[in-house]
């Protein structure tokens, strides 16, 4: 007796001896095979191809028909891979065909363009045979194959994503939009700017200040359920019967469309019964006297039929808990510390539902939801409400709740914070009604301490309803938000004659960078938990400060930089992350070094030398302040003189930029190092040194030298120059390993004293060492690598780190040989810090490639580097996912964090440094160096480009630039171009600024 399996490719079998006790104690040996998704078993499409050979042409979709994974069904000839098989298998006629061929693999061969479908069957080891296919089924499959080409939607010329929510989505990020408020000019905008995640049906979560949830996150492992699914949803009932639900497309509307655009989502559906339902969702800009956070949903119902409709609209949502982290430990606590609350108008209607949290510390944030119906010039409020989710559902589901026909009008004594409101919306033929939903929060940080919060809420809520009294006011506010972003994105606009690229670079990329300037990376479709603003997220300001300053908001950028300055201790180490207070001081060694570069970029951009003398408090919270320049000096001194290892390079500490490089079990924090330094006690010398941090320190020291020279601080300048020289020398002596810079120097006794270089003994791909991408990038960006070293590294970058999906973060390796508990080993190869195309780092590499290409003497090397940089730009651009959406799976408008280096799949979160470094890389590629003293143009255009136009807007100054060149690689270092400014040939490289209100026409021309 035994188990029999059909032969197939199995790369991993684990035989297990099992003794089954049966009568007479007979022992039976059974071999059990263990499979995983990465074990090498053929995919359904591979199995289909083996069975049908040349009959299986073009992209296909397939699935196994049972758990043995021996019988396969699939469809070939699709426009691109799409989940068509699952839809076809739901057809009863298809099931009958499968039942008629119980031992055969089945292939549907589709020629959608000619509306032809043929069916084939094959038994194992035999030739395929044609199968009869019912005409109705053939027609349905042909239509489906034609239709699936458009399932992913389209990107229009403005970069808006237009999609049908009835279609299957490629991944959890794909049909998602990001929305944000605007609190520039109000207190603490970095921490308090509201933000939302909205999917194609309006679902998702909403936060106000810090990590405070206004609409609740859904705490489960379904990435696509970022927010509680009742959020922003509504039902329509008629005569007590539910006829429509906004969060479900199973009612089969005649038409459905979602449009995601920068800062707004619109959803339109038309039902079979003649109703047109249009929704607009956006976040209002802050205005004096209005709530700190407010999300607006405008619902417009139009009766396109010939009969009167006596409708009733029921809006729902789930307020966020006051302590989201408590949901991991004690849901009971989270529910019993709150009760439902109601604000009622004089006529008994509902002004707003307002939950009440009992702990004193939770009463500073008062959430609310209000709904107003505008009809025939009059407004009406809800006449029913419900606050018990279990009661609302009854024995039904969210799609078909039993309690929707009549709400209970009962205030629940405990959570969750569910809310429902209902109001009649009668519609005459041809008539439209507007329903406005306002969800938001009033915060103690915006109100006097002596004023009761609910009094403030009533005051601000009434002001809010007066401000948005009708669809016209909402439309004007929405238009103002669009125009505000258009001004922000207008800093730099490209015209390359590549529509998708231009729309991304001019619209979606600047919006993502702007969004990320105010948002913790934890707020996203896939990361649902609590996380503060990371100190490294000042990198987003690298990219956003230029458009902010171009809008005349340099003062605001100073204030933002001050938020980070206040998180640096007097001794020079920084809090790793923070909202109102910081934590984990000095445990991540790269944190404060990014800040030095941010300040240098700002001063170069604006010429504001006085900012360097502006005082800000330190993180010590002892009342002391100091000028920004002294904060920068303290950072460089701490990183270059105190927190250093045996070779004089900065210590890794808990980790550097790569949080998974935790190879030291002990790592004293900044305060411990300060105590040792002040006591004259030598620091540990066996700590691991970070070569990447050494490069960052070299760059920071260079920046400090320039800044101190800018204000004639000779002593600081001398200190910085010598430190930069010493750290560069140490890197070249100790970190350069023949053909590559190491990533880490491990100083404790180990068989692997070097990580990330030839000969480190850590490679698992047959080479003599593993390579880390950041060693290449920052060696160039810091100016440490010379041309010979770049010439040695570049071929290895192309041969070992390059994949079809871009540059991976690290080659195949086993870092557990250095430290068994290292965090990068928690990931499968190809994921995240274990060899993914981590696009944040990939775009740093692109910037390094462009920088190197402009500087090296070897023109052939320069051309190859520029070509490689542009290739990576194309791979990282999010609109690329539209080429093969169900394989690549990323959002087509926003950059995701990484791609799996084996499959190419885009994996989240959406909020990623990829966007910021893409922006910096593109500015370098198009040669834009803007300073307070003028502009330099040094582009490295694509070889195929012959004419590119760039428009730069700085306050009221406008610069219209056109690049003209022959086909091929061109750079200024080899052939200085002719530069014509307003009709006059320029004798110098620098283009002077024009007077305010003036437009400058610039031509940069390389002759053939």
Going by their DSSP bridges, the two strands 957-964 and 999-1005 should be labelled as: parallel
Structural domain including 403 reads: 154-486
Task: Report the DSSP beta bridge partners of residue 949.
Answer: 495, 962
For residue range 435-447, list pLDDT tens digits in order. 999 999 998 877 6
**Do both 288 and 434 map to the same domain?**
yes
Element (H, E) at 862: helix 859-876
Residue 8 has pLDDT above 70, yes or no: no
Burial of residue 19 (number of CB atoms within 10 Å: 0-12, 13-18, 19+): exposed
Q: Kindly tell me if the per-residue pLDDT of 635 is higher than 80.
A: yes
Asked whether the predicted pLDDT for residue 4 surpasses 70, the reply is no
- Do residues 437 and 471 share a domain? yes
Same domain, 317 and 379: yes
Indicate the residue among 150, 170, 191 that finishes a domain: 150
What φ, ψ does residue 699 adopt, rounded to 5°? Answer: -65, -40
- Provide the CA 565 distance to its chain's centre, in angstroms: 26
**Residue pLDDT, tens place only, 846-858:** 999 999 999 999 9
Residue 552 belongs to some domain of the structure: no
Give me the pLDDT at residue 528, please: 64
Please state whether beta strands 309-318 and 418-427 pair in parallel, antiparallel, or not at all (unpaired): antiparallel
Task: Please tell me the predicted confidence (pLDDT) of residue 13.
Answer: 34
pLDDT classification of 449: cutoffs 50, 70, 90: low
What's the mean pLDDT in 725-736?
98
Note the pLDDT tens digit of each residue in 98-132.
Answer: 999 999 999 999 986 777 899 999 998 789 999 99
Is 113 in the same domain as 262? no
Tell me which of 150, 166, 188 is where a domain ends: 150
pLDDT band at 817 (very low <50, low <70, confident <90, very high): very high
pLDDT at 1: 32
3-state helix, strand, coil in the chain (%, to 5): 35, 25, 40
- What is the domain count for the chain? 6
Average pLDDT, the chain: 92
Which contacts (CB < 8 Å, 24+ apart) does range 760-766 have? Answer: 761/817, 762/813, 762/814, 762/815, 762/817, 762/818, 763/811, 763/812, 763/813, 764/812, 764/813, 764/814, 765/811, 765/812
pLDDT at 7 > cutoff 80: no
- Read off the pLDDT band of 3 (50, 70, 90): very low
Does residue 119 sit in the same domain as residue 179? no
23: pLDDT strictly greater than 60? no
pLDDT at position 14? 38
In a domain, 448, yes or no: yes
Residue 914 token pair: 């990829």
Task: Specify if 546 maps to a domain.
Answer: no
Q: What SS3 class is residue 462?
A: helix
Q: What is the pLDDT of residue 909?
A: 87
Residue 124 shares a structural domain with residue 268? no
139-194 per-position pLDDT tens digit: 999 999 999 999 999 999 999 999 999 999 998 889 999 999 999 999 999 999 99
pLDDT surpassing 50 at residue 5? no
The answer to whether position 449 is within a domain reads yes
Is 761 found in the same domain as 654?
no
Is residue 884 one of the residues assigned to a domain?
no
**Confidence bin at 22 (pLDDT 50/70/90):** very low
200 with 292: CB under 8 angstroms? no
Q: Looking at residue 971, what is its pLDDT?
A: 95
Cα dihedral 284/285/289/295 (nearest 10): 20
Give, to the nearest 10 degrees, the angle between helix 509-516 and helix 538-550: 120
Tokens encoding 476: 């004007």
Least confident residue range of 7-21, 609-623, 725-739, 950-964? 7-21
Which tops the pLDDT comparison, 742 or 22?
742
**C-alpha span between 281 and 287 (Å, rounded):** 18
Bridge partners of 472?
Answer: none
- State pLDDT tens for residues 246-260: 999 887 778 999 999
pLDDT at 448 over 60: yes
951: CB partners within 8 A, 6+ apart? 490, 492, 493, 495, 958, 959, 960, 961
Q: In this structure, is residue 471 part of a structural domain?
A: yes
Following DSSP, what letter does each residue of 113-165 receive, concatenated? GGTEEEEEEE-TTS--EEE---HHHHHHHHHHHHHGGGTT-EE-TT--EEE-T
CATH number at residue 704: 1.50.10.10
Q: Is the pLDDT of residue 524 over 90?
A: no
CB of 310 closer than 8 Å to CB of 375: no
Looking at the structure, do residues 472 and 572 belong to the same domain, yes or no? no
Structure-derived torsion over alpha carbons of residues 470, 476, 480, 482, reported in degrees to the nearest 10: 90
Would you say residue 18 has pLDDT above 50?
no
Strands of 906-907's sheet in order across:
837-838, 898-899, 906-907
State how far the Cα of 209 lies from the Cα of 535, in Å rounded to an integer: 17
* Candidate ranges 679-693, 789-803, 984-998; pick with highest mean pLDDT: 789-803
Determine, yes or no, domain membership for 491. Answer: no
Contact 582, 567 (CB under 8 A): yes
- In 183-337, alpha helices (H): 189-192, 331-336
Band of residue 944 on the pLDDT scale cut at 50, 70, 90: very high
Kindly state the average pLDDT of the residues 786-799. Answer: 98
| Order of strands, sheet of 384-386, starting from the edge strand that comes earlier in the sequence | 241-245, 233-238, 309-318, 418-427, 384-386
Q: What SS3 state is found at 648?
A: coil
Both 755 and 847 in one domain: the answer is: yes
Q: Is the pTM above the cut of 0.85?
A: yes
Q: Are residues 276 and 354 in the same domain?
A: yes
Per-position DSSP letters for 911-974, written without gaps between them? --HHHHHHHHHHHHHTTEEEETTEEEE-----TT-SEEEEEEEETTEEEEEEEE--SS---TTT
pLDDT for residue 527 = 64
Residue 76 bridge partners (DSSP): 60, 109
Interacting residues of 247 by C-beta distance below 8 A, sequence separation 6+ = 201, 202, 203, 229, 230, 233, 398, 399
Label residue 415 by pLDDT band (50, 70, 90).
confident
The stretch 598-624 carries a mean pLDDT of 96
pLDDT surpasses 90 at 836: yes
DSSP string, 386-410: E--HHHHHTTS-SSS-GGGSS----
Cα gap 436→234, rounded to integer Å: 12
In the numeric block, which tokens belong to residue 1003? Answer: 């031509």
Instruction: Output the domain CATH number for residue 999.
Output: 2.60.420.10
Average pLDDT estimate for 555-572: 96
Distance of alpha carbon 287 from alpha carbon 633, whole angstroms? 39
CA distance 140 to 137: 5
85, 119, 150 - which closes a domain? 150
Is residue 28 pLDDT above 70, yes or no? no
**Residue listed under structure tokens 């237009």:** 162
Domain for residue 502, yes or no? no
Asked if pLDDT for residue 27 goes beyond 70, the answer is no
Residue 125 contacts by C-beta under 8 Å, 6 or more apart in sequence?
A: none
Q: How far is CA 192 from the centre of its chain?
A: 19
- Domain co-membership, 211 together with 79: no
Q: What are phi and psi of 257, to 5 degrees?
A: -150, 140
Q: Is the pLDDT of residue 19 over 50?
A: no
Q: Give the span between the Cα atoms of 783 and 789, in whole angstroms.
A: 11
Residue 15: what pLDDT?
40
Residue 1005 has pLDDT above 90, yes or no: yes
Residues 578 and 715 in one domain: yes
Instruction: Note whether 310 and 238 are within 8 A (CB).
Output: yes
pLDDT at 24 over 60: no
Reduce the DSSP state of residue 324 to 3 states and report it: helix
């Amino acid at each position: 007796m035994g188990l029999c399996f059909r032969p197939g490719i199995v790369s991993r079998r684990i035989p297990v001896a099992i003794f089954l006790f049966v009568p007479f104690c007979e022992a039976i040996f059974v071999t059990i095979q263990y499979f995983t998704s990465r074990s090498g078993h053929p995919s359904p499409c591979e199995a289909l191809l083996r069975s049908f050979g040349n009959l299986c042409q073009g992209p296909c979709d397939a699935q196994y028909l049972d758990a043995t994974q021996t019988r396969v069904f699939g469809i070939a000839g699709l426009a691109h891979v799409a989940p068509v098989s699952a839809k076809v298998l739901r057809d009863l006629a298809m099931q009958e065909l499968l039942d008629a061929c119980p031992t055969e693999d089945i292939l549907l061969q589709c020629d959608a363009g000619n509306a032809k479908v043929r069916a084939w069957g094959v038994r194992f080891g035999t030739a395929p045979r044609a199968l009869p296919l019912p005409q109705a089924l053939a027609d349905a499959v042909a239509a489906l194959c034609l239709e699936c080409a458009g399932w992913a939607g389209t990107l229009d010329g403005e970069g808006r994503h237009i999609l049908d929510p009835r279609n299957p989505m490629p991944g959890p990020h794909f049909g998602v939009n990001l929305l944000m408020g605007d609190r520039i000019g109000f207190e603490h905008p970095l921490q308090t700017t509201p933000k939302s995640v909205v999917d194609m049906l309006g679902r998702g979560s909403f936060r106000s200040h810090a990590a405070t949830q206004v609409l609740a996150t859904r705490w489960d492992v379904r990435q696509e359920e970022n927010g509680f699914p009742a959020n922003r949803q509504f039902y329509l009932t008629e005569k007590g019967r539910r006829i429509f639900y906004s969060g479900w497309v199973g009612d089969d509307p005649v038409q459905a469309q979602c449009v995601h655009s920068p800062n707004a989502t619109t959803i339109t559906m038309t039902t079979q019964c003649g109703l047109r339902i249009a929704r607009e969702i956006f976040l209002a800009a802050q205005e004096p006297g209005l709530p700190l956070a407010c999300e607006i949903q405008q619902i417009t119902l139009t009766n396109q039929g010939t009969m009167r409709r006596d409708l009733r609209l029921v809006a729902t949502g789930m307020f966020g808990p006051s302590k989201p982290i408590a949901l991991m430990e004690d849901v009971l606590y989270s529910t019993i510390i709150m009760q439902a609350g109601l604000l009622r108008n004089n006529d008994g209607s509902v002004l707003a539902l307002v939950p009440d949290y009992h702990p004193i510390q939770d009463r500073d944030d008062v959430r609310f939801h209000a709904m107003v119906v505008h009809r025939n010039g009059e407004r009406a409020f809800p006449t029913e409400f419900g606050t018990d989710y279990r009661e609302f559902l009854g024995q039904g589901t969210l799609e078909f709740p039993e309690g929707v026909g009549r709400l209970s009008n009962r205030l629940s004594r405990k959570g969750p914070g569910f809310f429902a409101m209902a109001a009649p919306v009668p519609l005459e033929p041809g008539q439209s009604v507007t329903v406005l939903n306002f969800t938001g929060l009033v915060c103690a940080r915006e109100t006097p301490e002596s004023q009761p919060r609910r009094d403030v809420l009533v005051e601000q809520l009434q002001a809010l309803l007066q401000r948005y009294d009708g669809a016209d006011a909402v439309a004007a506010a929405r238009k103002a938000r669009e125009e505000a972003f258009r001004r922000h994105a207008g800093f730099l606009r490209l015209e390359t004659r590549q529509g998708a690229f231009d729309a991304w670079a001019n619209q979606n990329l600047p919006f993502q960078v702007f969004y990320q300037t105010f948002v913790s990376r934890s707020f996203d479709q896939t990361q649902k938990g609590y996380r503060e603003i990371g100190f490294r997220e000042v990198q987003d300001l690298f990219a956003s400060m230029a458009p902010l300053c171009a809008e005349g908001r340099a003062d605001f950028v100073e204030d933002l930089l001050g938020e980070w300055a206040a998180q640096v201790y007097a001794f020079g180490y920084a809090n790793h992350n923070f909202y109102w207070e910081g934590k984990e001081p000095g445990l991540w060694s790269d944190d404060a070094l990014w800040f030095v570069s941010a300040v240098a970029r700002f001063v170069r951009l604006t010429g504001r030398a006085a900012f360097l003398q502006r005082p800000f408090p330190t993180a010590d919270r002892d009342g002391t302040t100091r000028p920004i320049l002294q904060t920068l000096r303290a950072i460089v001194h701490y990183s270059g003189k105190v927190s250093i290892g045996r070779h004089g390079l900065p210590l890794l500490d808990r980790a550097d930029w790569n949080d998974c490089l935790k190879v030291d079990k002990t790592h004293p924090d900044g305060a411990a190092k300060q105590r040792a330094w002040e006591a004259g006690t030598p620091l540990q010398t066996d700590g691991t040194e970070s070569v990447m941090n050494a490069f960052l320190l070299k760059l920071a020291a260079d920046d400090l030298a320039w800044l101190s020279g800018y204000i004639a601080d000779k002593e600081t300048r001398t200190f910085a120059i010598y430190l930069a020289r010493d750290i560069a020398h140490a890197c070249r002596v100790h970190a350069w390993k023949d053909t590559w810079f190491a990533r880490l120097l491990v100083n404790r006794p180990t068989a692997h004293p070097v990580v990330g270089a030839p000969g480190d003994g850590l490679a698992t791909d047959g080479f003599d060492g593993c390579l880390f991408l950041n060693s290449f990038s920052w060696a160039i960006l810091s100016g440490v690598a010379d041309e010979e070293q770049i010439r040695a590294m570049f071929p290895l970058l192309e041969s070992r780190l390059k994949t079809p999906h871009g540059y991976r973060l690290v080659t195949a390796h086993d870092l557990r040989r250095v430290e068994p508990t290292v965090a990068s080993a928690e990931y499968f190869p190809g994921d995240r810090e274990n060899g993914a195309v981590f696009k944040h780092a990939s775009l740093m590499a692109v910037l390094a490639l462009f920088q190197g290409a402009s500087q090296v003497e070897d023109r052939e090397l320069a051309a190859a580097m520029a070509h490689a940089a542009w290739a990576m730009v194309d791979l990282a651009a999010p609109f690329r996912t539209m080429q093969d959406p169900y394989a690549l799976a990323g959002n087509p408008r926003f950059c995701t964090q990484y791609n799996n280096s084996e499959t190419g799949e885009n994996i989240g979160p959406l909020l990623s440094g990829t966007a910021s470094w893409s922006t910096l890389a593109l500015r370098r590629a198009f040669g834009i160096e803007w300073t307070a003293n003028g502009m330099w143009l040094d582009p490295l255009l694509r070889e195929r480009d012959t004419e590119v136009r760039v428009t730069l807007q700085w306050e009221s100054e406008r610069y219209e630039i056109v690049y003209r060149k022959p086909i091929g690689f061109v750079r200024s270092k080899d052939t200085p171009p002719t530069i014509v400014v307003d009709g006059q040939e320029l004798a110098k490289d620098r283009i002077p600024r024009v007077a305010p209100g003036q437009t400058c026409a610039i031509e940069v021309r390389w002759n053939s």
